[in-house]
């Protein structure tokens, strides 16, 4: 567009504009380079009514002209909220009211998205725009008003288009989804009052509007759902997460406190997602220690519940980075009766072996079984009739054998999965088998007076075989722990020896020192390259070894993972110190070796022997370390694939170095 023409439009200089057009009729057809706007688009954008009248009079067909975004001048008028300009344009070209822009927005959609209530009311009187909305050819104006937070427009549109409240867009979101995402409580209240069934509608990601509200932590919206659609609190995500899981996952503490204190969903505290994680598991894993402490102190959460990896909250806490808060939470968990998974399994086997073989009265047997949490998850439902939600509730309520009783869960039928991602019966059966194992029992071992009184001979034989094997593994683990401590002591000793040797070599350099003269006390061979290599390597080896000693005597790890980290770092530093010490030795030998004819081969031999010996050992250990990493990775993959299996002993061990190299009897680090 010509600069003078643009200036005339911007300054609303009608006379200058008309003179330019009279001089050159082609100027009226000029457009901007970036957005392809016509002169009418620009005049409307700047709000110059007189110029708009002049342009429409000169070229009426320009009313239907489109720019790069397919916006007509009518779209621009709606975007500016100028009803006078809009209806003047529609008088010239009524068909422009039916055009959609590149975002599939009609004139009504644009007006609603910018919150122009009066303009929206006027547009609703146009039958062609109403038909567009009914046919669903454009982006819903109700979606846009809910997204931008214009309650007056929502109240105006909903009585005329009630079906839009449930219409999903391409992402599966309803207007209520958008209102909850942006935290518009007043729009949420109005939409729920109009139709509560929209609260149960899932989008393409498997979330209801309430799930989105919990993710952003808007408590006023949660209160609206509680008063008008409390059943929505029972809806689960595609991953089997409750609203409590989402509050913990997205660090919404205020929302979590509101949810945990409410009677409607307080019984969901011990529900588990598809991975078996309760909200306590999740709080510890995500390092939300404030939430975890609240759960332990203020609620009746099961502290010994195990997930699909058979990990308790205490097991997960043992894997996170050590800190003051984690230690405080660990003490709180232990004080609440929390145990590690391996301790729970050992206690279950011990307790199950102590059951009397005489048939006790029915009430006594029932109390005994309840004390051990030996509950059959399929007692009240057959495989042919139980729903996934029923299985979910049963499993969740029996996932921890050591936890105190809690209030009964809501009816299992109230726990709803998204229909598009409903777990299969086989998934729940596998989870039930995994969580109901106690001392090698599976769901097929129904509790009855008969099998409490007598054990099958095969079962007694298997228990007899498992006990020595557990004792043997425990013995090997003790040997492994002792070997780690010995390795730490050895590294400390070697570092001290390196520091001693390099210190002595630095004080008494090779070749000696001048005994008199101005250079008295200075190294005789100090100007040679070999001596400089010696001095540099010797000093590096000295200070690395001193650093190793300081670190090892200053840090006392009491967890295996922390001990392994310190040991790996100090071990690699020790290798570095040894390498520099060997380099300084070769350089020192080079300094003192005579340069006579026939002795050159000795220098070459010395260098070859030193480099080949150290290089071979280093290369061999590196290959062993790589092989160990690959073996450990394979072990972890196999363990992940078989984590729902019946091998409690293998699942409880968290020492991957020990487990993956058990048959070899050693491993590198």
Cα 669 from chain centre: 29
The pair of structure tokens assigned to 270 is 């011990």
Mean pLDDT of 536-543: 92
Q: What is the pLDDT of residue 441?
A: 37
Q: What confidence tier does 651 reach under pLDDT thresholds 50, 70, 90?
A: very low
- Higher pLDDT pick, 452 / 97: 97
Instruction: Please give the sequence-ordered ranges of beta strands (E in DSSP) within 393-481, or none if there are none.
Output: none
Q: Which H or E run includes 276?
A: none
Rounded to an integer, what distance in angstroms lies between the CA atom of residue 166 and that of residue 171?
13
Rounded to an integer, what distance in angstroms lies between the CA atom of residue 527 and that of residue 533?
11
Q: Could you tell me if 112 and 150 are in contact, meaning their C-beta atoms sit under 8 angstroms apart?
A: yes
Residue 637, pLDDT > 80, answer no
List pLDDT tens digits, range 343-394.
Answer: 887 666 555 554 444 334 434 433 433 433 333 333 333 333 333 333 333 3
DSSP state of 518: T
For the chain, domain boundaries: 1-139, 236-454, 468-592, 599-669
DSSP state of 170: T
Q: What confidence tier does 656 reach under pLDDT thresholds 50, 70, 90?
A: low
Q: What is the pLDDT of residue 211?
A: 95
The model carries a pTM of 0.52
Q: What is the pLDDT of residue 451?
A: 39
Q: What is the pLDDT of residue 368?
A: 38
Q: Could you tell me if 173 and 165 are in contact, meaning their C-beta atoms sit under 8 angstroms apart?
A: no
CATH number for the domain running over 1-139: 1.25.40.20
Q: What confidence tier does 430 reach under pLDDT thresholds 50, 70, 90?
A: very low
Q: What are phi and psi of 514, to 5 degrees?
A: -65, 135
Name residues whose C-beta falls within 8 Å of residue 460's C-beta, 6 or more positions apart in sequence: none
Residue 403, pLDDT > 60, answer no
Q: Could you tell me if 587 and 579 are in contact, meaning their C-beta atoms sit under 8 angstroms apart?
A: no
Mean pLDDT of 192-212: 93
Q: What confidence tier does 140 reach under pLDDT thresholds 50, 70, 90?
A: confident
Q: Could you tell me if 39 and 75 are in contact, meaning their C-beta atoms sit under 8 angstroms apart?
A: no
List pLDDT tens digits, range 280-298.
Answer: 999 999 888 888 988 888 8
CATH number for the domain running over 236-454: 1.25.40.20
Q: What angle do helix axes 49-58 and 83-92 make, rounded to 10 degrees? A: 10
Name residues whose C-beta falls within 8 Å of residue 168's C-beta, 6 or more positions apart in sequence: 174, 201, 203
Rounded to an integer, what distance in angstroms lies between the CA atom of residue 465 and that of residue 17?
100
The pair of structure tokens assigned to 470 is 């557990």
Cα distances (Å, whole numbers) of residue 144 to 127, 176, 221? 20, 11, 19
The set of long-range contacts for 614-617, using a CB threshold of 8 Å and a minimum separation of 24, is 614/579, 614/582
Q: Do domains 1-139 and 236-454 have the same CATH topology?
A: yes
Name residues whose C-beta falls within 8 Å of residue 216's C-beta, 6 or more positions apart in sequence: 180, 181, 183, 250, 252
Q: What is the pLDDT of residue 388?
A: 34
List pLDDT tens digits, range 10-35.
Answer: 887 888 888 888 888 788 888 888 88
Mean pLDDT of 461-479: 53
pLDDT-above-90 percentage for the chain: 14
DSSP state of 404: P
Rounded to an integer, what distance in angstroms lies between the CA atom of residue 373 and that of residue 406?
13
Q: What is the pLDDT of residue 207?
A: 94
Residue 510, pLDDT > 70, answer yes
Supply the mean pLDDT for the chain.
75
Mean pLDDT of 5-9: 84
Q: Could you tell me if 112 and 153 are in contact, meaning their C-beta atoms sit under 8 angstroms apart?
A: yes
Instruction: Single out the residue of 551, 559, 652, 655 nearest to residue 326, CA to CA.
Output: 559
Q: Could you tell me if 176 and 209 are in contact, meaning their C-beta atoms sit under 8 angstroms apart?
A: yes
Rounded to an integer, what distance in angstroms lies between the CA atom of residue 262 and that of residue 226?
9
Cα distances (Å, whole numbers) of residue 368 to 62, 355, 401? 88, 9, 13
């Amino acid at each position: 567009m010509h600069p003078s023409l643009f200036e005339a439009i911007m300054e609303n200089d009608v006379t200058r504009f008309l003179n330019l057009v009279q001089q050159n009729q082609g100027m009226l057809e000029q457009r901007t380079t970036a957005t392809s706007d016509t002169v009418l688009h620009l005049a409307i954008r700047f709000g110059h009514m007189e110029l708009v009248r002049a342009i429409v009079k000169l070229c009426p067909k320009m009313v239907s002209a489109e720019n790069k975004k397919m916006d007509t001048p009518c779209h621009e008028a709606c975007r500016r909220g100028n009803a006078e300009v809009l209806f003047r344009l529609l008088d010239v070209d009524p068909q422009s009211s039916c055009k959609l822009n590149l975002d599939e927005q009609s004139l009504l959609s644009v007006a609603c998205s910018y919150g122009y209530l009066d303009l929206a009311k006027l547009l609703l009187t146009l039958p062609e725009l109403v038909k567009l909305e009914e046919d669903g050819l454009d982006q819903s104006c109700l979606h846009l008003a809910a997204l931008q937070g214009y309650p007056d427009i929502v109240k105006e549109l909903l009585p005329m288009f009630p079906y839009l409240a449930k219409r999903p867009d391409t992402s599966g979101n309803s207007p209520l989804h958008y209102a909850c995402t942006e935290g518009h409580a007043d729009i949420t209240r109005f939409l729920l009052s109009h139709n509560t069934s929209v609260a149960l509608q899932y989008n393409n990601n498997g979330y209801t509007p309430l799930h989105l509200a919990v993710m952003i932590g808007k408590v006023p919206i949660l209160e609206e759902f509680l008063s008008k659609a409390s059943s929505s609190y029972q809806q689960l995500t595609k991953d089997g997460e409750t609203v409590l899981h989402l509050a913990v996952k997205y660090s919404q503490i205020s929302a979590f406190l509101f949810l945990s204190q409410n009677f409607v969903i307080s019984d969901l505290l011990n529900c588990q997602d598809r991975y078996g994680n309760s909200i306590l598991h999740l709080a510890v894993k995500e390092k939300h220690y404030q939430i975890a402490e609240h759960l332990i102190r203020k609620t009746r959460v099961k502290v010994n519940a195990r997930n699909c990896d058979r990990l308790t909250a205490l097991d997960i806490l043992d894997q996170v980075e050590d800190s003051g808060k984690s230690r405080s939470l660990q003490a709180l968990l232990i004080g609440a009766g929390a145990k590690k998974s391996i301790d729970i399994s050992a206690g279950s086997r011990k307790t199950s072996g102590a059951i009397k073989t005489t048939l006790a009265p029915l009430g006594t047997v029932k109390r005994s079984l309840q004390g051990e949490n030996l509950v059959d998850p399929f007692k009240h439902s057959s495989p042919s009739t139980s729903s996934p939600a029923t299985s979910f509730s049963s499993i969740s309520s029996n996932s921890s054998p050591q936890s105190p009783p809690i209030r009964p869960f809501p009816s299992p039928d109230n726990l709803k999965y998204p229909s598009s991602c409903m777990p299969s019966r086989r998934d729940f059966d596998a989870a039930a088998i995994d969580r109901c194992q106690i001392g090698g029992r599976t769901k097929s071992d129904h509790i009855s007076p008969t099998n409490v009184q007598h054990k099958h001979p095969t079962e007694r034989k298997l228990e007899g075989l498992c006990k020595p094997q557990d004792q043997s593994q425990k013995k090997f683990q003790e040997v492994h722990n002792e070997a780690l401590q010995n390795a730490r002591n050895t590294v400390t000793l070697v570092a001290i020896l390196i520091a001693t040797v390099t210190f002595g070599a630095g004080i008494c350099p090779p070749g000696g020192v001048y005994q008199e003269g101005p250079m008295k006390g200075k190294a005789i061979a100090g100007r040679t390259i070999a001596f400089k290599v010696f001095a540099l390597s010797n000093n590096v080896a000295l200070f690395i070894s001193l650093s190793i000693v300081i670190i090892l005597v200053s840090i006392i790890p009491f967890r295996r993972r922390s001990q392994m980290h310190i040991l790996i770092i100090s071990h690699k530093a020790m290798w570095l110190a040894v390498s520099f010490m060997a380099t300084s030795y070769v350089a020192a030998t080079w300094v003192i070796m005579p340069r006579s004819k026939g002795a050159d081969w000795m220098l070459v031999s010395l260098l070859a022997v030193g480099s080949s010996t150290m290089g071979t050992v280093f290369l061999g250990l590196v290959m062993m370390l790589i092989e160990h990493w690959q073996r450990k990775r394979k072990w972890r993959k196999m363990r992940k694939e078989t984590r729902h299996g019946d091998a409690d002993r293998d699942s409880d061990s968290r020492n991957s170095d020990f487990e993956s190299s058990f048959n070899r009897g050693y491993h590198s680090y």
